Amino acid sequence: MAEALATQSTVSVQGRYKNCKGKYRVLLTAARPHFSIKGRFRGLIGVNVDVTESQKAEAALRHSEERFRSAVEAAPSGMVMTDRNGCIVLVNLHAEAVFGYQREEMIGKGVEMLVPDRSRSSHPVFRDTYGRRPLARAMGAGRDLYARRKDGTEVPVEIGLSPIETSEGLMTLASVVDISERGGQRCKENF
């Protein structure tokens, strides 16, 4: 406020104020100091906007996002979330273990990096088909699936897909379980 007075410029201030009913509200004030022709300070001209409800909504959204991220991180399987274009936006610690990548190496990359080489070119077609009718379901029901690790080896997996509607659009959350301990025969179907 002192700087606004010294420079005669607009100032924005946010603060908690008690109203006439004794309740606290958060106000965002945008004001400009007003001076007389002789340079005497005459007061502030501005507007107060009550931002209490929007701040509560933002805090609730942050808490919701934190709970979601905590749940994903604590999940007992690898979790990989992709956007509509197949770009990885979120992974958990178990996904790092399954795929051998650090999360920073996966986030921002196309999910096809986790698909075996022989199926990589056809995977976008399957992804687009799922995107047209996104339903929670097991992927490749009745077939053996494989995913590609960082070192190029393949790992047998079970995958569950769940559509997640977000403020950024539809996302797909894939739950990936390494089933190599179960043994089993190899088939030609892939992640």
Q: Tens digits of per-residue pLDDT, 8-39?
A: 888 888 999 999 999 999 999 999 888 888 98
* Residue 57, H or E segment: helix 52-74
Per DSSP, what are the bridge partners of residue 166? 169
User: 73 versus 141: which is more confidently predicted?
Assistant: 73
pLDDT band at residue 80 using 50, 70 and 90 as cut-offs: very high
Is 2-50 a CATH 2.10.70.100 domain? yes
Identify the CATH number of the domain defined by range 72-182.
Answer: 3.30.450.20
Neighbours of 138 (CB within 10 A): 13
Q: Tens digits of per-residue pLDDT, 36-67?
A: 889 888 888 899 999 999 999 898 888 988 99
Per DSSP, what are the bridge partners of residue 169? 166
Q: What is the average pLDDT score of the chain?
A: 89
Q: Is the pTM of this model over 0.75?
A: no
pLDDT band at residue 186 using 50, 70 and 90 as cut-offs: very low
Q: How far, in Å, CA of 169 to CA of 84, rounded?
A: 8
Q: Quick one: pLDDT at residue 140?
A: 65
Q: Return the CA Rg of the chain.
A: 27
Q: How far, in Å, CA of 7 to CA of 127, rounded?
A: 57
User: In Å, how far from its chain's centre is CA 158?
Assistant: 24
Q: Quick one: pLDDT at residue 185?
A: 46
Q: Where are the domains of the chain?
A: 2-50, 72-182
